[in-house]
Amino acid sequence: MPRQNSKSQPKSIASALLAGALIITLTGCANGDDAPTRMIKQVTDGVEAVSGEVKATNVLLVAQADGSAVLIATVVNNGSATDSIQSITANGIQGIKAPVDLTTAAPAIFSGPSANQSVVFPGLNLKASQHATIEFTFATAAPIKLNALVREQSGIYANTTK
């Protein structure tokens, strides 16, 4: 069996180390606590947004068989002053006509077992997995605009009806 040249062995080791360093460096993607790849948030059960002291969470729509959609959301006022929801629209279709008061002690919960509000968007005609632009306007807080997912009326949303 021929013996390898001892001069080529250090070259092989150096090449392997260089290749390893390049792989680590090129795939590092700006690591750290505030790295862009760590900040990605994929929400599957609703989106959220904040306007001043008002926060809308878990916002999504459940498509109904007649082409309407039911809003699922929780809107919380974390401020000391009362605010109110003046309107809610989905793709420009009005879903609420009267103001809904937002006190610090009582969130507005749209749909679900503890719901105290209900909003239906007639004629939205969206299918599951599509998105709708939901806009909340308030008496004092700036409007909140969200790109909300439309879910089908099945699974945990099977009993979500208008």
Domain ranges, ordered by start, for the chain: 8-38, 47-157
Residues in the chain where the model's pLDDT stays below 70: 1-8, 25-44
Which CATH superfamily groups domain 47-157? PCu(A)C copper chaperone (2.60.40.1890)
Residue 127 near residue 89 (C-beta atoms within 8 A) = no
Distance CA 74, CA 51 (A): 14
- What pLDDT does 31 receive? 60
How many other C-beta atoms lie within 10 A of the C-beta of residue 85? Answer: 25
Element (H, E) at 9: helix 8-26
Nearest CA to 146 out of 40, 39, 41, 47 is that of 47
Residue 118 near residue 162 (C-beta atoms within 8 A) = yes
Distance CA 138, CA 132 (A): 19
State pTM to two decimals. Answer: 0.72
